[in-house]
Amino acid sequence: MHDILQTNLLSPITLCFILGIVAKLVRSEFSLPKDIYLGISIYLLLALGLKGGVELAEASFSSIISPVLVTLLIGCITPISSYLILRKLGRFSVADAAGIAAHYGSVSAVTFIAAQSFINEMSTKMPSLPPLEGYMPTLLALLESPGIHIALAIGAIKTASKGHGTAKVLHEVLTGRTMILLLGGLIVGYLIGHKNWEVIAPFYDSKGGVFRGLLCLFLLEMGIVAGSRMGDLKKVGLFLIGFGTIVPLLHGTLAIALGTWAGLSVGGCTVLAAMAASASYIAAPPAVRVTLPDANPSYYLTAALAITFPFNVVLGIPIYFELAKFFHA
């Protein structure tokens, strides 16, 4: 475990992320220009989609059906379990509990990428590790939206909220940049086949230098964003700090158990656990702000960005890897 933690901690993306947090903590003015940050996020999502699509075209229906169903099940469980814990144990208001649950029910694509990079790294160190399932980005796309809708529906019903209609939010989430690039990329990747992929692979392959280099820059900026919310930690209270670290472990363990049952490899289970454990901070915040105006943005943004994201990137992913190995033993 010590070795694995060290591997993760000394990986370029984790160190760049920590550098970003440190830059913010020492009050450096530095940050990545917004358009570059957006540009890199577009590149990363499209790259994920393309590679996932190429691999999906080669996967048999019978091999992916169980992982797909398990992913959808996780997407339905995590918003409800988050909501109940926040409401019953944390005594949060309906709007706050539903708002935070929408974030934890959905998924953070960057956490997914960090987990995938970690598995790639580990497989070079441990040749006996079976290769990571190539269709994982398909599962990422599936997990993006159900959680947001379930949590928002709970919030809207319980508060008789007069915000946006559900159809409107559905449209916003389904046409957001994550979904268009990821789903669009999957379809393009599916259609182009291996030959065409090999031409563009040096630029888009997640094992390649371009992808990993840009990922470092992206994580650096994520560190700055997370660091800028660290000051709010005092405001959100101990319960939410505990919630932001323990609930990912619960959801991660659930995902590993279900993933193992569905036949995913150790790597696949680790990535699925990272997805289930992560909290969305791109698609969920605007949807929650508009639908549940009573929910305090300080709670959900701080929990997702300043607590759960750093936890998963630094500690969570190696823990899920160990748990996945344990479940496979």
Partner 1 sequence: MKLTNLKLVTIITEAVLEEQVIRELKSLGAKGYTVVASHGEGSRGMRAGELPGQNIRIETLVGADVAHKIMEHISAHYFKHYAIVCYISDAAVLRGEKYI
Site residues (vs partner 1, CB under 8 A) = 31, 34, 37, 164, 225, 228, 281, 285-286, 289-290, 293-294, 297, 301, 305
- For 323, the token pair is 């748990």
CA distance 207 to 327: 27
Q: Which is nearer to partner 1, 294 or 322 (CB)?
A: 294
- In the complex, least distance from residue 173 CB atom to partner 1, rounded to whole angstroms: 13
- In the complex, least distance from residue 16 CB atom to partner 1, rounded to whole angstroms: 17
Q: Which is nearer to partner 1, 84 or 290 (CB)?
A: 290
CA distance 161 to 173: 19
Contact 7, 317 (CB under 8 A): no
Q: Which is nearer to partner 1, 50 or 301 (CB)?
A: 301
CA distance 72 to 104: 14
CA distance 216 to 241: 26
- In the complex, least distance from residue 118 CB atom to partner 1, rounded to whole angstroms: 25
Q: Which is nearer to partner 1, 204 or 281 (CB)?
A: 281
Q: Which is nearer to partner 1, 289 or 328 (CB)?
A: 289
CA distance 254 to 276: 8
- In the complex, least distance from residue 28 CB atom to partner 1, rounded to whole angstroms: 14
Question: Based on the number of CB atoms within 10 Å of its own CB, is 267 exposed (0-12), middle (13-18) or buried (19 or more)?
Answer: buried
- In the complex, least distance from residue 234 CB atom to partner 1, rounded to whole angstroms: 15
